[in-house]
Amino acid sequence: MQIKGGLVFDLEKGFVERDLCFDGGVIVSECGGEVFDATGCYVIPGLTDLHFHGCMGADLSDADAEGLETMAKYELSRGVTQICPAGMTLLEEQLIKVCTVAAEHRAANKSGAELVGINLEGPFLSMAKKGAQNGDWLHKPDVAMYRRLAEAGHGLVKLVSIAPEEPGAMEFIDELKDEVVISVAHTTADYDTALEAYRRGAKEATHLFNAMPPFSHRAPGVVGAAFDSEGVMVELICDGIHIHPSVVRAVFKLFGAERVVLISDTMRAAGMPDGDYTLGGQAVRVNGKLATLADGTIAGSVTDLMSCMRTAVDFGIPLADAVRAAAVNPAQVTGIFDRCGSLDAGKDANAVVLDRNLELRAVFFHGCKVE
Ligand SMILES: [Zn+2]
């Protein structure tokens, strides 16, 4: 298979006019076989969404095998070729089921986007900043509990969120920093506490600005601590609802495109009509782009990562930077960049063709066009 005539994403140069060639599910430098005409189009790596909960009526937290396959298929159709869905704050027994079902899904080599990980957003979060997480099921950071969940996930747990001000959080980081990417989330932490979490080995900030104290001039909070901690990555929900366009532009300038991870944070209503749904056991009403709990708290989004990338570009982010934040960086965070996240020879033949308006023209997965 060869994709001819397109502008192909390149990590160093932005976009270059060249052909992209696949052979046996892998990107190769010698072209041959069937031709896909991408003249006038952009060709980018398949995206990786490392923080979304559900779509098409399904949610990772349901621990439902069929639902997970539905999610994987939908994401692939949107150009998200790798997924690392996120759990909510749930009881341990339910989280064990979530991890078990995900591990079984991966082992069975089910269709749809490749499940490359599980992101445990809950339960080690702060009651005061729980957002749409269920407060009844919050839990203090607990290394033994984390290890039980990781074991149920058979190595699939790639990220875990914690509120670093909670008792035991710093010890949690000390103990697990080399086993999993620890992300600071749903937190009241001030600058010093967050900085200490990063100094000890936390590596990410979960949906920067959302469910944390603001970035203010004498109290820079998690945002300032992440900025001051070299190499720490920041997630940004770029659905046009969670973050003001000016803040999206500021974050890309402040952190640089190489430190921003675009996420969709979608819930089960993504891809579905307006109506009543649930998220982590709580009722959510969806109206247009807005999903809210009964008290008005924003409860995830109803978009997809490709649309978030497009929204970032609408807000003024250069396309190459937006692609970096949606395809390259999340592949690096989830530890799959050696085979995904760029269009270099030897990597998985996962690519997306977008027209000049960034609308989907075609998705290629393991070298085949997704129909
Ligand atoms: Zn959250």
Cα distance between residue 107 and residue 187, in whole Å: 34
pLDDT at 195: 98
Pick the closest to residue 57 from 239, 269, 207 (CA basis).
Answer: 269
Contacts of 335 (CB under 8 A, 6+ apart): 117, 158
Instruction: Report the pLDDT averaged over residues 180-203.
Output: 98
Check whether 203 has a pLDDT greater than 90.
yes
User: How remote is the CA of residue 304 from the centroid of ligand 1, in Å?
Assistant: 16
Domains of the chain (ranges, CATH numbers): 1-46+341-371 (2.30.40.10), 47-339 (3.20.20.140)
Ligand 1 center to 104 CA (angstroms): 25
Burial (0-12, 13-18, 19+ Cβ within 10 Å), 23: middle
- The strand pair at 14-17 and 7-10 is best described as antiparallel
| CA Rg value for the chain | 19
Q: Ligand 1 mean position to 335 CA, how many Å?
A: 22
State the pLDDT at residue 301. 92
DSSP 229: S
Distance, CA of 160 to CA of 123 (rounded, Å)? 9
**Contact 235/38 with Cβ under 8 angstroms?**
no
Q: Kindly tell me if the per-residue pLDDT of 208 is higher than 90.
A: yes
pLDDT per residue as tens digits for the range 293-332? 999 999 889 999 999 999 999 999 999 999 999 999 999 9
pLDDT tops 90 at residue 281: no
Q: Which of 49, 62, 239, 265 is labelled catalytic?
A: 265
Q: For residue 45, name the pLDDT band (cuts at 50, 70, 90).
A: very high
- Measure 353 CA to ligand 1 centroid, in angstroms: 30
Task: Evaluate if residue 222 carries a pLDDT over 90.
Answer: yes
Looking at the chain, list the stretches that DSSP marks H as alpha helix, in order from N- to C-terminal side: 65-77, 92-107, 143-152, 169-176, 191-200, 221-228, 245-255, 305-314, 319-323, 329-333
Q: Please report which confidence band the pLDDT of residue 280 belongs to, taking 50, 70 and 90 as the band edges.
A: confident
Catalytic annotation present for 265: yes
Q: Give residue 30 CA to ligand 1 midpoint distance, Å.
A: 44
Distance from the CA of 15 to the center of ligand 1, in angstroms?
A: 33
Model confidence at 370: pLDDT above 90: yes
CA distance 356 to 215: 36
Q: Give the pLDDT band (50/70/90) at residue 149.
A: very high
Q: How confident is the model at residue 114 (pLDDT cuts 50, 70, 90)?
A: very high
129 CA distance to ligand 1 centroid (A)? 9
Nearest by Cα to 235 from 194, 280, 184 = 184
DSSP result, 50-65: -S--EETTEEGGG--H
Long-range contacts at 13-18 (CB < 8 A, ≥ 24 apart): 14/318, 14/320, 15/42, 15/319, 15/320
Mean pLDDT estimate for the chain: 97
Ligand 1 center to 131 CA (angstroms):
7
Local confidence band at 174 (pLDDT 50, 70, 90 cut-offs)? very high
Instruction: For residue 57, report the distance from its CA to the centre of ligand 1, in Å.
Output: 19
Give DSSP secondary structure letters for 170-213. HHHHHHHTTTSEEEE-S----HHHHHHHHHHT--EETTTTTTS-
Question: How confident is the model over 168-173, as a mean pLDDT?
Answer: 98
Average pLDDT over residues 129-158: 96
* Sign, CA torsion 143/145/149/151: positive
Mean pLDDT of all residues in 343-354: 98
What separation in Å is there between the alpha carbon of 145 and the centre of ligand 1? Answer: 20
Question: Residue 291 burial by CB count (10 A; 0-12/13-18/19+): exposed, middle or buried?
Answer: buried
